[in-house]
Amino acid sequence: MTRMLKLALVAILVVYLVPAALSAGLWYTSDHATSWRTADWSSSGLLPAAGADERAAFYILSARTGGLKGAVAEHSWIVAKEKGAARYERWDKVGWGSPIRHNGYDADGRWYSNEPRVVFSAFGERAERLIPKVREAIDAYPFAMRGGYHIFPGPNSNTFVAHVMRHVPEIDVALPSVSVGRNYPSDGDLVFLDPDRRDLHLSLFGYAGLSIGWKSGLEVNLLGLVAGIDPRRLGVKIPAFGTFGLL
């Protein structure tokens, strides 16, 4: 038993702690904003001008967060544009004031000076079908009240976006594996199946867990750090670094 425990501790060290420490070292020695006051929150230019395309559009965006947290975690948010609209709408969950922030930042704004990336996108009729369901899921989010934000294990910004994504089955991807807080059980169940029945999750109140299915692949979550495999992309999920895939 003692030998098995030692092997388990070594496995945790190699799989989780070493990548996290390496990422923290690389992050610390890189140039990053030192506070939210000095950070760049302006548009990154990632998205086209809203009026440039008549079609409806929908996006999930994500960017590394601020401070040393950025070494291991990203912040995600939701962007939508109705058909014919001249501007985008954006929803984030933040840790101050009213947690669900609507149009608090540019749709493709940098987050703590970090460039965003597109996690999911849909356009035209597909986006038109998605957006009403997304609005319903946002309105039904159970931690939208003041005080409904906890940086770890959740519910946080990624818990909010993951909740919306799970309740809109047409969003057929999962948040990046570095989205710490996405595995927090926002519906209160420690064992839950996504509404589209394609992913099964086991969560120990967000501190540890297991996810398996079409969108998640196979993931083992420990203290927010995710290790696993992604068969859809022929990839491997490395804690703090994210997914490296061939597709």
110-157 residue pLDDT tens: 999 999 999 999 999 999 999 999 999 999 999 998 888 999 999 999
From residue 14, give the alpha-carbon distance in Å to each of 26, 28, 58, 175, 238: 17, 21, 39, 24, 11
173 is a domain residue:
yes
Ranges of residues in the chain with a pLDDT under 70 are 1
What is the structure's pLDDT at 1? 58
Residue reference for tokens 């909740």? 163
| Beta carbons within 10 angstroms of residue 8's beta carbon | 10
Q: How many domains, in total, are found in the chain?
A: 1
187 is a domain residue:
yes
7 is a domain residue:
no
1 is a domain residue:
no
The domain in which residue 71 lies consists of: 15-245
23 is a domain residue:
yes
Helix or strand run (H / E) with residue 127: helix 124-139
| Beta carbons within 10 angstroms of residue 27's beta carbon | 17
Contacts of 93 (CB under 8 A, 6+ apart): 99, 100, 101, 143, 149, 155, 156, 157, 159, 160, 161
Q: Which of 135, 18, 148 is nearest to 96 (CA)?
A: 148
> Global pTM?
0.93
What is the structure's pLDDT at 4? 77
Is the backbone of residue 213 left (phi > 0), alpha (psi -120 to 50) or beta?
left
8 is a domain residue:
no
What is the structure's pLDDT at 3? 75
6 is a domain residue:
no
172 is a domain residue:
yes
From residue 108, give the alpha-carbon distance in Å to each of 133, 177, 187, 210: 22, 21, 29, 31
